[in-house]
């Protein structure tokens, strides 16, 4: 492990320098890693494991879109692609990557497939932490571990293909074999992590649910909409409102923040932008702080979990979801966004 200083607080992290892929292969050489679910995280993790030389199979409902996608990605029915139950029986490490609601539905069947000494691996603490709602309580004769990439499944794959990685947290909830830490370290590296940092199942799900409802998606979408609507109400064109709200952020500024930090961003913009950002940042922070307090309380109380499970279990959920997504897609703001994106190739400097 490497001891890294994070702003005066030292953390132990694991990188591929200390735990290279070759070591991960050695640790997992006698394992069959069964990736259950080929939806959001499944494809990226499965393909990265495959490319890193890990013995991997995929479990997915037969005949659906995800089954066909797995086939198109090179997994072969009867050899490396199986129905969920068959894959779970074959695996010694079960990568449980179904949706949270899907895990609840499949758990009774998956539990019967677990053998003594198997490892049950999650990429989210949801099912274990909220066991009173999910009913997912692993037997005592398996390792229960977690490797949670801090990004979308698509990014897990694209970063790997581009030669980089995506950071991930890791945790051991139950160590039956005495090898749980070695197993999860190997899995974390093999799925393509940039570096691994320790967490617990509780901390992972509390931070993850807060983040995706907050800065990563919910807050970001809401703030963008508020600024876009304000500019439009004051007579700015859709192109101007969208570029000042979204395009400049996503195509320029956030990339610079990612590369160099917000302090660098503040130091390398115009003095007018710098002064304004410094003055207004505390006002935005103080305005949203109560919302974040409410959000975090809703997460740790289990209210958010109940909402997810109730909504996702509804028989007409997908129809309702599509209606909500279409409202965003066909709003003026995101129709303007589609138009702006369509113009990007023409703006390239030859």
Would you name the residues annotated as active-site residues? 124
Please give the sequence-ordered ranges of beta strands (E in DSSP) within the chain, or none if there are none: 2-6, 9-15, 33-36, 56-59, 81-82, 93-96, 119-122, 143-149, 166-174, 193-198
Tokens of 215: 């800065």
Tokens of 341: 């994106």
> Phi and psi dihedrals of 115, rounded to 5?
-105, 160
Q: What are the C-alpha distances in Å from 250 to residues 64, 105, 258, 344?
A: 34, 38, 11, 13
> Phi and psi dihedrals of 345, rounded to 5?
-60, -30
What letter does residue 277 receive in the DSSP assignment? H
* Ordered DSSP codes for 64-81: SHHHHHHHHTT--BTTTE
The neighbouring-strand residues paired with 193 are: 166
Rounded CA-CA distance 171/57 in Å is: 23
How do strand 33-36 and strand 56-59 relate by DSSP bridges?
parallel
Rounded CA-CA distance 165/44 in Å is: 12
Ordered alpha helix ranges (H), 114-253: 126-129, 131-134, 153-161, 180-190, 201-213, 218-233, 238-242, 248
Sign of dihedral through CA atoms 309, 311, 314, 320?
Answer: negative
Cβ count near 197 (within 10 Å)? 17
Tokens of 296: 């975090």
Rounded CA-CA distance 299/210 in Å is: 7
Q: Which of 261, 220, 282, 252 is nearest to 244 (CA)?
A: 252
């Amino acid at each position: 492990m490497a001891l890294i200083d994070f702003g005066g607080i030292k953390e132990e992290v694991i990188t591929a320098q200390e735990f290279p892929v070759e070591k991960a292969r050695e640790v997992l050489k006698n394992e069959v890693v069964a990736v259950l679910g080929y939806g959001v995280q499944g494809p990226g993790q499965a393909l990265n494991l495959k490319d890193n030389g890990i013995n991997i199979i995929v479990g997915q409902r037969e005949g659906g879109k995800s089954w066909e996608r797995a086939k198109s990605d090179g997994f072969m029915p009867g050899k490396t692609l199986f129905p969920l139950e068959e894959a779970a029986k074959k695996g010694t490490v079960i990568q449980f990557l179904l949706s949270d609601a899907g895990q609840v539905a499949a758990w009774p069947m998956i539990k019967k497939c677990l053998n003594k000494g198997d490892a049950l691996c999650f990429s989210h603490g949801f099912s274990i932490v909220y066991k009173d709602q999910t009913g997912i309580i692993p037997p005592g004769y398996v390792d229960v571990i977690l490797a949670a990439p801090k990004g979308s499944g698509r990014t897990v794959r694209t970063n790997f293909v581009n030669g980089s990685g995506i950071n991930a947290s890791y945790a051991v909830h139950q160590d039956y074999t005495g090898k749980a830490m070695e197993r999860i370290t190997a899995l974390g590296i093999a799925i393509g992590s940039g570096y691994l940092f320790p967490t617990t199942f509780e901390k992972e799900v509390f931070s993850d649910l807060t983040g995706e409802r907050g800065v990563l998606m919910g807050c970001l979408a809401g703030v963008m909409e508020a600024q876009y609507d304000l500019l439009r109400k004051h007579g700015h064109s859709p192109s101007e409102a969208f570029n000042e709200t979204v395009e400049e952020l996503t195509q320029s500024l956030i990339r610079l923040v990612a590369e160099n930090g917000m302090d660098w961003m503040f130091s390398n913009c115009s003095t007018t932008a710098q002064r304004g950002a410094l003055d207004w940042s505390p006002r935005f922070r103080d305005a949203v702080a109560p919302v974040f307090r409410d959000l975090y309380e809703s997460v740790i109380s289990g209210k958010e979990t109940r909402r997810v499970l109730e909504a996702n279990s509804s028989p007409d959920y997908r129809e309702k979801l599509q209606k909500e997504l279409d409202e965003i897609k066909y709003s003026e703001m995101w129709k303007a966004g589609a138009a702006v994106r369509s113009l990007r190739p023409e703006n390239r400097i030859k």
